[in-house]
Amino acid sequence: MGTIGGVRTNDKFQVLRADGSVIKGLYAGGETANRPFYRRVYTSGTGLGLAYTSGRIAGENAAQEK
Ligand SMILES: Cc1cc2nc3c(=O)[nH]c(=O)nc-3n(C[C@H](O)[C@H](O)[C@H](O)COP(=O)(O)OP(=O)(O)OC[C@H]3O[C@@H](n4cnc5c(N)ncnc54)[C@H](O)[C@@H]3O)c2cc1C
């Protein structure tokens, strides 16, 4: 139903290194970066909302990145 995990991201869904720094040009959303539920119980019905929202935010930020 969900990974309840994946890679760590910031609010732009840029993927973060272990030290918290941004990996430039790398974005992740949906089940590859299920940060809101990291290490928590799966909440039924929330996966699609996260996938759509994180995908849109990641895409918008990736398009603006220079
Ligand atoms: C049985 C079931 C019921 C669910 N019911 C609900 C529900 O009622 N409500 C809800 O909100 N959520 C529900 N979920 C969760 C929801 O479906 C997922 O959270 C959501 O689809 C995740 O979207 P995603 O885009 O992150 O990943 P995915 O939908 O898994 O998309 C990943 C895509 O990447 C593709 N892919 C994989 N590897 C590669 C590759 N190497 N190259 C190119 N493409 C690749 C895959 O084919 C796939 O199309 C349910 C999940 C399951 C399994």
What six digits make up the tokens of 46? 């929330």
Contact status, residue 7 vs residue 32, Cβ threshold 8 Å? yes
CA distance 10 to 21: 10
Question: Which atom of ligand 1 lies at the shortest distance from residue 2's CA?
Answer: 19
Interval 3-13: pLDDT, tens: 778 899 999 99
Protein residue whose Cα sits closest to atom 52 of ligand 1: 1
Q: What is the mean pLDDT of the chain?
A: 89
CA of 58 to the centre of ligand 1 (A): 17
Question: Which atom of ligand 1 lies at the shortest distance from residue 54's CA?
Answer: 26
Asked whether residue 36 carries a pLDDT value surpassing 70, the answer given is: no
**Could you tell me what percent of the chain has a pLDDT over 90?**
61
